[in-house]
Amino acid sequence: MKKGSGDRSGSRGKGSKNAPSYEQRKPPARQARKTKAASKPKKTAKKSTAAGDLPVKSGKSWMATLFNWGGTLFLWGLLIGGIVLGYFAYTLPDISGIDVIEKRPSIILETKNGVRYATYGDLYGRMLEPDEIPDPIKQAVLATEDSHFYDHFGVNPFSLVRAAWRNYQAGRVVEGGSTLTQQLAKNLFLTPDRNIQRKIREVLLAFWLEANYSKDEILALYLNRVYFGSGTYGIDAAMRKYFAKPASKMTMAEGAMLAGVLKAPTYYAPTSNLKRAQNRAKVVVGRLLAEDYITKAEADKLIKNPATLNHAGSNFKNVRYFSDWIVAEVRSYIGRTDQDIIVTTTLDLTMQKQAEKALEKQLAKNGGKFKVTQGALVSLTPRGAVRAMVGGRHYSKSSFNRATSARRQPGSVFKTIVYTAGFENGRNPEDIYLDGPININGWKPNNYTRRYAGALSLREAYARSINTVAIKLTEDIGRYKVASMATKLGLTGNMPTHPSISLGTNETTLLEMTSAYAVLANGGKGVLPYGVLSVKTNTGKQLYKRQSSGLGTLLNPRTVNQMRDVMKTAIQTGTGKAANPGFAAAGKTGTTQDYRDAWFIGFTPNLVTGVWFGNDSGTPTRKVTGSNLPAYAWKDFMVGSLGKNQAVAFVPVEESFASSAQGIWAKIVQTFSSGANNRASAEGNQKGAIEYSYPDNDEAKP
């Protein structure tokens, strides 16, 4: 037993070296499972691996980093933003003077009857209280400019985003996102420059306005200060300028038009282009309808019946020529001033309308046919008070005043100066001169017809505007006397004494030439044209009052009576027949070389008027002469201004004994010095003489 048991035990012990173990004897599948199980990581190792899993650890670190850096940047942003805002707040303009108005002094022009027709400078009306602002302008402005005005805090973020997007789409600035409060801030305190600095200040000022004023007060400030075009600021001034009434009487149509002006005041001002302003008002009406301020029926009525201008200046296209001239005159009287002034002028609105009508009629009817594009007219009393002035066809296209500033050759209207000098030096209307060829040192002028009439009286030669007789009369009395007479009667500029002086080759202006004729209408007394009667401040203080010019008598009464006589003949039977108004009148036609300028100047006992037609470029017209277009316009104006049944007759100037004796003595001197009244001009044979043809007898017919 012991042996047996010992044998079993011993056999294991002996065989341990070579006998296979249990692991070696077990089945292969079980061994494989064991091997696979042994290869799995232990739970402790698995937990250790999970605890050190890299993705989980990386996510927590990124969030912490983002939070740390975000907080840091936010704090720095607040700091920098605070510094920037502090800088802009510190550099804001002074806002203490919100109630102070800085403006250019205004000039108001009115007739002697107190009718206002033009304004210059910055014109402000009465500052209206919030409860005085008319509903039409409130509703129209809110509908078009800021429909959410009562809802925002000075800045409308939605409007800013919308405007930015539309500007981005268009590639340029097509829409603004500013509220009315921002616009007020900009208008009161800032420049119109478009940059980020101004926008920041605008926003800060808008916040300040909203914090210190109610919505109604802000709206009132805006409407009392905003620019409405034509020099007007505020709705009261705009209403008086455009509609000749206070703001309290505003209609919805007028409110729509004024609100429409705000988009571009200079462009949409009704005085610049009424049709354009009315079309813009239709857009405003559409916004009023969209915002439920008006009904569809009311909108249709407003579109069908838009507002129209209703002030004195609105009836004239070209009154600004006169107004500009007046402003220059005022400055010469009182200098520059920082006060608002009211100027009483000599303008007659009825005559002004007739002047514009007469010129436009001829240019519209005959401008294309005769290739003439411009005209001018000036009319004054015999003492020089200018009643009407048109300096061109369209002031809106050209503000150059052709009545006061354009220097042109007067042509045969200058013959009035020649004959006045002749009669002042003893010649008479019945003196006989020879209409025949002339050669003055090689200069050989012709009549327009290139024909000669032989012996003519000065009366007939003037009426028919004969060139040769005017030249011979000038040579007879002396060219320097003609030049001296021109200067005496008010013509300025260089006056060379060339033989052609008698044919009006020296340039002058329409106003100067018409004023020279006024001396004859004024009985020989000097005339200075003027348009200002008085100047006063808007508080009533007198700054200037018109006094007599004091030029005194320039011409012998005998000369005046003789000139009136021959000038009446020119209208009744001569080249000026087309201008005959059917009542007492005297005048003269004038046409320059190549038909570049055409004139008619004449007068009645109480009105002197000059008319000119031509082209600014100096190009020839198609045979416009003083006897057609200017004569037609002159007659239309005179009849329209004075009436068809004008009964005023010329009263001869009383001749004193001294003046009569002077005339007799001059006649004696003339007779003995010349030996005869039939005077031929000096003739010469200078080599290379140039022949001129002046169409100054105005016998060409249209």
Give residue 47's pLDDT: 43
* Among 294, 315, 336, residue at a domain's last position: 315
- Tell me which DSSP letter residue 444 carries: -
Strand order in the sheet with 386-390: 386-390, 374-380, 607-614, 597-604, 586-591
381 and 291 both lie in a single domain: no
Q: Residue 219 sits in which domain range?
A: 127-315
Question: Do residues 265 and 388 both lie within one domain?
Answer: no
Q: Could you say which DSSP state residue 94 is in?
A: P
Would 56 be classed as within a structural domain?
no
What is the mean pLDDT of each successive set of 10 residues along the chain, which is 702 residues long? 40 43 46 42 43 50 70 62 53 55 78 89 84 95 90 72 63 64 71 55 76 89 89 90 90 96 91 91 96 95 92 75 93 84 96 96 96 98 97 92 96 97 96 94 86 94 96 96 96 89 94 98 96 93 86 94 97 96 96 95 97 96 96 98 89 71 52 42 32 38 32
Going from the C-alpha of 69 to that of each of 60, 75, 77, 158, the distances in angstroms are: 14, 10, 12, 31
- For 530, the 3-state DSSP assignment is strand
Q: Is residue 354 part of a domain?
A: no
3-class secondary-structure state, position 446: strand
- DSSP code, position 489: T
- 378 with 506, same domain? yes
- 394 and 497 housed in the same domain: yes
85, part of any domain: no
Is residue 682 included in any domain, yes or no?
no
Same-domain status, 279 and 395: no
Q: Residue 461: inside a domain, yes or no?
A: yes
Q: Are 230 and 258 in contact (CB under 8 A)?
A: no
Regarding whether 508 and 380 lie in a shared domain, the answer is: yes
Same domain, 150 and 234: yes
One domain, residues 472 and 398: yes
Residue 59 falls inside a structural domain: no
CB 119 within 8 A of CB 244: no
Same domain, 156 and 303: yes
Q: How many CB atoms lie within 10 A of CB 213?
A: 17
Q: Does residue 29 lie within any of the structural domains? A: no
> What pLDDT does 18 receive?
47
Radius of gyration of the chain (CA): 47
439: CATH = 3.40.710.10
Q: In angstroms, rounded to a whole number, what is the distance separating the alpha carbons of residues 272 and 359?
A: 21
Domains held by the chain: number: 2
Burial 518-544 (b: 16+ CB within 10 A, else e): bbbbbbbbbbebbbbbebbeeeeeebb
Same domain, residue pair 153 and 230: yes
- Is residue 237 domain-shared with residue 138, that is, in the same domain? yes
Residue whose structure tokens are 């008086």: 240
Final residue of a structural domain among 315, 330, 355:
315
Give residue 155's pLDDT. 73
Instruction: Classify residue 266: in a domain, yes or no.
Output: yes
* Same-domain status, 523 and 449: yes
| DSSP element (H, E) containing 457 | strand 454-457
Distance, in Å, from the CA atom of 216 to the CA atom of 149, rounded to the nearest integer, reads 10
End-to-end CA distance of the chain: 171
CATH number at residue 249: 1.10.3810.10
